[in-house]
Structure 1
Amino acid sequence: MPLPRYKQINTDVTPYYHCISRCVRQSYLCGRDSRTGINYEHRRKWIQDRLHKLSQAFAIDLCAYAVMHNHIHVVLHIAKGRADGWTMDEVLLRWRMFYKCPPLVQRYLENFDSVTAEEREELKSLSAIYRERLQSISWFMRMLNEYIARKANKEDECKGYFWERRFRSQAILDEKALASVMAYVDLNPIRAKIAKTLNNSHYTSIQYRLNAKRSNKVPKFLMPFDDSKKKLTESLPFAFSDYLQLITDTLNAERNGSTYKMPNLPNKLLNKLGMTKENWHLVTSNFETLFTGPVGCPEMMENFARCCQRACRPNVSNAQKYLS
């Protein structure tokens, strides 16, 4: 029986989560279906555009994503407290980007002076509900999957489920797990042989970051990496140059058939993470196989289980072996 979401997500322990949604049909979500010959490649753009739009409205940052043939990966960061700084008007406007609001909200947004004191209290209650939803992973994934399912069903002229009923989520509990899951997501299309290089890995966060880097721009819709020059309050806890060097060396080593002979990195990111090259390769190649639930060092996994009132701690032995 699936665990309730409150036992899978706890922002008091960690703000990072890896989410996966899989298509329930035999046909492809994206790409060319070898069985029917129909090309669904354009749907990848639907998903990327939707992810970017959601990241603009929600108090949730996109760390990494990859749109595969029959599933998608996203690594999300819940910016706890960010939504508390939004005004009521800002919350209502953000929610209206996706849903047709009640007539009272529509009237208020068209003319701020058109509501009574009682109606303003009702607006405050609605904005409190919307504020909570705009920092919820469940609502983020719902608004992603529901939108894509409706478009795909309309295109296919059919009804019914497009995705599996529930998306899968994994709590990411420390820097080792975060770097590993991002590398797993960024390298997934290449390992699945739907792309050959990071630069031509279309509709992925790593390609989006590389395109922005070539244009000397900050990736608009993605959470930035730690850059000492910019002093950002919220950023991924390592430098992009170090991370890019690490996944590039990982990819090159795999292609050369010398996984364990990765060159010494000048940024020493693996040393910072405290992982061996062997463990790094095993975890980033088999992330979903090794870990079916929360991911991090054994101590963090035990703390997460305790805070979420979970009786079991799956894959603690793998965490002890590869991440301790």
Structure 2
Amino acid sequence: MPRPRRTQISLEDTPYYHCCSRVVRRAYLCGDDAYSGKNYDHRRGWVESLLLKLTSVFAIDVAAFAIMSNHLHVVLHVDIEAANGWSDREVLEQWHQIFKGDELTHRFVKGHLLPPADTAILQHRIATYRSRLCDISWFMRCLNEPIARRANQEDNCSGRFWEGRFKSQALLDEAALITCMAYVDLNPIRAKMGKTLEQSEHTSIQLRIQGALRGEQPKRLLPFRADEQHNQPKGVAFSLSDYLQLMDETGRLIRDDKRGAISSGSQDLLIKMNIAPDNWMTLITQFGHLFHGPVGTLEELTSYCEHLEKRRRHFANCCRYLKTS
């Protein structure tokens, strides 16, 4: 039975969450549908464009994404400090970028004086909107609903386009985050949708490679902050160059027709993150089968369950996959 979203989100333990949405009724996000004979590649552009636009509205960053033929993966970072740092006016300005608002909120944004009764109502709305702008459920809703309406209009039909709920799992430590990001970034290689990372269309890894060639990081993606040339106030505590090297070496191993190996430098990085190099390929190719809930060490999973008042540590057996010994 599906668990309520509030029982899966604990910002006290981690701001990182892996979300996945799948389509229904033979629906396609992209590629050739053998049943209908239609090609839906253009829909991947819809999703990527809207996904990256939402990062400028919500206090939520995208760490990784991959838009596949009938589902999408996204790794999100909830920036609660950014949401709390917005002024009341900034909260409403953010909200108005995707929702119409009402007369009261627009009057406040324009600087009009409000009577005390209206001020009390407005403060309640601002608090509600501030909370929603750092809520992954609202983020995924604002991503999935417009795509569903647009796809239904194109298909000249009605009803569900996505499954009823998107799946989410907490990433409780750095090892879980990097492993999940790599799993998402390498999805097209495993699915043989792209021969190389550079050719993996509509993925975060392609954007990162393109940015690295220009000596910069994509503005709409959560940056890697371990690089000396990028003094970022927030980001993944890892070197972008090391991550790209690890992805390149792993991608070569996944492909049957391309030789490759995990270098000693990448192996040292995996060990530093408490990931056994011998288990790396298993983690990357079977992440979705190995982990069906929160990902992290047993200690972090215990803390996560305590904060959410869970009586049992579900998925505790999965923790062993991220240990070096």
Tell whether the 8 Å contact from 2:61 to 2:76 is kept in structure 1 after alignment.
yes
Partner deviation per Cα, 1:273-316 (whole Å, 9 max, x = no partner): 12222211111111110010000111111221221122333332
After superposition, the Cα gap between the structure-2 partners of 1:80 and 1:323, relative to the gap in structure 1 and judged at 3 Å, is farther
Tell whether the 8 Å contact from 1:292 to 1:314 is kept in structure 2 after alignment.
no
Q: Which residue of 1 aligns with 2:304?
A: 304
| Separation (CA, whole Å) in 1 of partners of 2:266 and 2:39 | 43
Tell whether the 8 Å contact from 1:46 to 1:148 is kept in structure 2 after alignment.
yes
Partner deviation per Cα, 1:190-215 (whole Å, 9 max, x = no partner): 11011111111111111111112222
Q: Which residue of 2 aligns with 1:180?
A: 179
Q: Tell me, which stretches of 5 or more residues in structure 1 are unaligned?
A: none
1:258, distance to aligned residue in structure 2 (A): 9.7
Q: Tell me, which stretches of 5 or more residues in structure 2 are unaligned?
A: none
| Separation (CA, whole Å) in 1 of partners of 2:303 and 2:274 | 20
The answer to whether the aligner puts 1:71 opposite 2:71 as a matched pair is: yes
The answer to whether the aligner puts 1:146 opposite 2:139 as a matched pair is: no
**One-letter identity of the residue aligned with 1:239:** S
Q: Which residue of 1 aligns with 2:205?
A: 206
Q: Which residue of 2 aligns with 1:133?
A: 132
1:218, distance to aligned residue in structure 2 (A): 2.7
> Aligned runs of 1:1-324 on 2, under 5 Å?
1-109=1-109, 111-113=110-112, 115-226=114-225, 227-255=227-255, 261-265=261-265, 268-323=268-323
1:161, distance to aligned residue in structure 2 (A): 0.7
**One-letter identity of the residue aligned with 2:77:** H
| Separation (CA, whole Å) in 2 of partners of 1:29 and 1:21 | 11
Tell whether the 8 Å contact from 2:190 to 2:254 is kept in structure 1 after alignment.
no
| Separation (CA, whole Å) in 2 of partners of 1:49 and 1:32 | 21
After superposition, the Cα gap between the structure-2 partners of 1:143 and 1:113, relative to the gap in structure 1 and judged at 3 Å, is same
Partner deviation per Cα, 1:57-106 (whole Å, 9 max, x = no partner): 11111000000000000000111221111011111111111111112223
After superposition, the Cα gap between the structure-2 partners of 1:258 and 1:230, relative to the gap in structure 1 and judged at 3 Å, is closer
TM-score, normalization by structure 2: 0.94
Bigger Cα displacement from structure 2, 150-159 vs 225-234? 225-234
TM-score, normalization by structure 1: 0.94
**One-letter identity of the residue aligned with 1:236:** V
Tell whether the 8 Å contact from 1:176 to 1:323 is kept in structure 2 after alignment.
no
**One-letter identity of the residue aligned with 1:188:** N
Tell whether the 8 Å contact from 1:246 to 1:269 is kept in structure 2 after alignment.
no
Bigger Cα displacement from structure 2, 158-167 vs 272-281? 272-281
Partner deviation per Cα, 1:87-139 (whole Å, 9 max, x = no partner): 11111111111111112223333x31253343333222211110000000110
| Separation (CA, whole Å) in 1 of partners of 2:277 and 2:84 | 42
**One-letter identity of the residue aligned with 1:220:** K
The Cα RMSD (Å) is 1.9
Tell whether the 8 Å contact from 1:260 to 1:278 is kept in structure 2 after alignment.
no
| Separation (CA, whole Å) in 2 of partners of 1:196 and 1:260 | 14
**One-letter identity of the residue aligned with 1:37:** G
Identity %: 44
After superposition, the Cα gap between the structure-2 partners of 1:7 and 1:257, relative to the gap in structure 1 and judged at 3 Å, is farther
Bigger Cα displacement from structure 2, 309-318 vs 54-63? 309-318
Runs of 4+ in 1 over 6 A off after TM superposition: 257-260
Bigger Cα displacement from structure 2, 65-74 vs 98-107? 98-107
| Separation (CA, whole Å) in 1 of partners of 2:164 and 2:287 | 22
